[in-house]
Structure 1
Amino acid sequence: MEYNKIIAVTGMPGLYELLSSKSDGAIVRSLDDKTTRFVASRSHNFSHLESIEVYTVRDNVNLVDVLKAMETSGEKLPDEKDGAALKAYFKKVFPDLDFDRVYSSDLKKMVKWFSVLKANEIEIKLSEPEEEAEEVEEGSPAKASVSEENPAPAKKAAKPAKESQDKKVKEEAAEEKPKAKKAAPKKKAEKEEKEEKPKKAAAKKKK
């Protein structure tokens, strides 16, 4: 079980492992009693522990920073119901907390969540960025350019071939046209001869 899969659900106590997300909610497993259930998003909100920040007197810090400080402090966890004890504990463990904006209910929640994480032996750390995905994205343009280079020579080669073919067709057509022109006078001469013969025959008959 990984820290980046742990979520808090509004209106439901404890922490949950996010098993799968759906358009209308999520399937979660309780870290307390290990029960699995579907939670509708229209009734509840989900918060990944990784995305939760805590107010301090300086810049906000990620919740993991506070939990890490609790883990390494060696201080005994206070009674969750004792507001004064909670505040005293966090003043020792993480004195930069802005106690005017971080309420006793928030301190109680952090102690509870810390106990649940430790009981389930979940390593408290932020997930590392996906380096492999970045490498693929950086490498993809190079792959794309190689694949685009291959068709280019084929296109260039195809164009001259088409031009030479068109040229050949034009030359053949040009050769055929003179032949047709030469044949035309011959047919005309034959026609004239046929027309002249009846005229001569008619002339003889007249005499």
Structure 2
Amino acid sequence: MNIEKILAISGKPGLYELKIQTRSGYVAESLTDGKRITVGMRSNVSLLSEISMYTHSEEKPLVEIMRAIAVKENEGQAISHKEDNAKLIEYFAAIVPDYDEDRVYPSDIKKVMNWYNILQAKGMVSKEEPKVANAEEVKEQVVEEVKAKKEPKAAKTEAPKAKTKK
């Protein structure tokens, strides 16, 4: 499961794939409808690979939770995020038995279920061990991709050489 470039943008529904980083923000493409949007630096943007959920012992990365859902559902669709809270809590407790009920709200569980189903529809979920790069590695990779696209082609024009008299 590769979610290093998947973004959750505050105030915008669904998930977005990071396309390029600009001086004033980001260009992201919606995973649901494919539309590209520009996101300013002032927007609250979270990489899914950096999100964790509370358990009684530690914080569990979202990637591990998504993988657990993929294993339970055999990489198929999970229950809808529109189910009632009791069903969602029961389902989530089966996936993450030690989650902290006081700090993980039903709205958080709904988000995880919605995000999983969006990623599953795009074929981005897997039962394999997650390969998660840290945010700095992703940022460096995006910057290198932008530089590669902006590099001008080498010009073959040279300045004429001055003739010298002997």
Provide TM-score, normalisation by structure 2: 0.71
Q: Relative to 1, partners in 2 of residues 1:33 and 1:11: Cα closer, same or farther, differing over 3 Å?
A: same
The separation in 1 between residues aligned to 2:68 and 2:37, in whole angstroms, is 32
CA contact (8 A) 1:50 1:126 kept: no
Greater helix content: 1
Residue 56 of structure 2 aligns with an amino acid whose one-letter code is: V
> Does residue 1:39 correspond to 2:20, yes or no?
no
Residue 16 of structure 1 aligns with an amino acid whose one-letter code is: Y
1:102 to 104, 107, 117: 104
Q: What's the offset of the Cα at 1:78? A: 2.9
CA contact (8 A) 1:79 1:85 kept: no
Cα deviation, 1:175-196, whole Å, max 9, x if unaligned, reads xxxxxxxxxxxxxxxxxxxxxx
Greater gyration radius: 1
Q: What's the offset of the Cα at 1:74? A: 2.9
The separation in 2 between residues aligned to 1:112 and 1:123, in whole angstroms, is 13
Residue 15 (structure 2) aligns with: 15
| Structure 1 unaligned spans of 5+ | 131-207
Residue 126 (structure 1) aligns with: 131
- Which aligned pairs between 1:55-70 and structure 2 lie closer than 5 A? 55-70=54-69
Residue 73 (structure 1) aligns with: 72
Provide TM-score, normalisation by structure 1: 0.58
The separation in 2 between residues aligned to 1:29 and 1:104, in whole angstroms, is 27
- Which aligned pairs between 1:1-207 and structure 2 lie closer than 5 A? 2-42=2-42, 44-74=43-73, 77-81=78-82, 82-123=84-125, 125-127=130-132
Cα deviation, 1:27-71, whole Å, max 9, x if unaligned, reads 0000000001111122x2111111111100111111111111111
> What do you get for the CA RMSD once the two structures are aligned?
2.1
Residue 33 of structure 1 aligns with an amino acid whose one-letter code is: D
Q: What's the offset of the Cα at 1:24? A: 2.0
The separation in 2 between residues aligned to 1:2 and 1:93, in whole angstroms, is 20
Q: What's the offset of the Cα at 1:114? A: 0.3
Q: What's the offset of the Cα at 1:79? A: 3.6
What percentage of residue pairs aligned between the two structures are identical?
A: 36
Q: What's the offset of the Cα at 1:126? A: 2.9
Greater strand content: 2
Q: What's the offset of the Cα at 1:103? A: 0.5
| Structure 2 unaligned spans of 5+ | 138-166
Structure 2 residue matching 1:19: 3-state secondary structure: strand
Cα deviation, 1:54-110, whole Å, max 9, x if unaligned, reads 100111111111111111113873342311111010111111111110101100000
